[in-house]
């Protein structure tokens, strides 16, 4: 079947079975390989993307369910040479080792910071609990999210 997907501000026509996962369509048909395959069961967060601004597990979403919705992947975060503030914060905090979890972590953090830009450690750990980092860089990820939140507050976006 043909589906029209809105990904990173661009419209894409794709041919796929309705039950094919969004993750598979992003990676295999649109070549957006920044979104990672981890468990395939909604348990690790490696495949996290934004769907109409909310963090979702793309391995558990059928492509037929997301047609017409606004999908954002890690490739849609930077504007030209300018990294998204959360990407910049992860870079500055060196909040990764192998980097496999990082796209999903960043998108979960972006969704979190849409709701509050003064999160507590407890809020961050609770809301990002479903994102697993096998390298164990959690303390730096925490630091990066706080840094990104501070950057957002300094721009006057108090939430």
What residue ranges bind ligand FES (CB under 6 A)? 37-40, 42-47, 57, 59, 96-102, 133-135, 137
Closer Cβ to ligand FES, 61 or 152, answer by number: 61
SS3 category, 13:
strand
Give me the least distance between CB of 4 and ligand FES, in Å please: 23
**C-beta of 108 vs 152, nearer to ligand FES:** 108
How far is Cα 123 from Cα 128, in angstroms, rounded to an integer? 8
Q: At its nearest, how many Å lie between ligand FES and the CB of residue 68?
A: 22
Least distance to ligand FES from the beta carbon of 15, Å?
23
| Contact between residue 7 and residue 76 where contact means Cβ atoms under 8 Å apart | yes
Q: Is 36 exposed, middle or buried (0-12, 13-18, 19+ CB in 10 A)?
A: buried
CB of 66 to ligand FES, least distance (A): 14
Identify which of residues 26 and 59 has a Cβ nearer to ligand FES in the complex.
59
- Kindly give, in sequence order, each residue whose CB lies less than 8 Å from that of residue 50, ignoring residues fewer than 6 positions away: 56, 70, 71, 72, 73, 107, 110, 111
Asked if 34 contacts 73 with a C-beta cutoff of 8 angstroms, the reply is: yes
**Rounded distance, CA 137 to CA 97, Å?**
7
Looking at the Cβ atoms of 7 and 44, the one nearer to ligand FES is 44
């Amino acid at each position: 079947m043909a589906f029209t997907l809105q990904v990173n501000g661009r419209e894409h026509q794709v041919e796929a079975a309705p039950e094919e996962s969004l993750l598979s369509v992003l990676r295999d048909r649109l070549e957006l390989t920044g979104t990672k395959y981890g468990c395939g069961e909604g348990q690790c967060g490696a495949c996290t993307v934004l769907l109409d601004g909310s963090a979702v597990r793309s391995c558990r979403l059928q492509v037929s369910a997301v047609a017409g919705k606004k999908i954002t992947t890690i490739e849609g975060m930077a504007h030209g040479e300018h990294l998204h503030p959360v990407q910049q914060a992860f870079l500055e905090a060196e909040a990764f080792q192998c980097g496999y979890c990082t796209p999903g972590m960043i998108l979960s953090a972006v969704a979190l910071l849409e709701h509050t830009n003064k999160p507590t450690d407890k809020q961050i750990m609770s809301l990002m609990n479903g994102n697993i980092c096998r390298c164990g860089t959690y303390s730096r990820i925490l630091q990066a999210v706080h840094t990104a939140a501070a950057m957002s507050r300094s721009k006057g976006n108090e939430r």
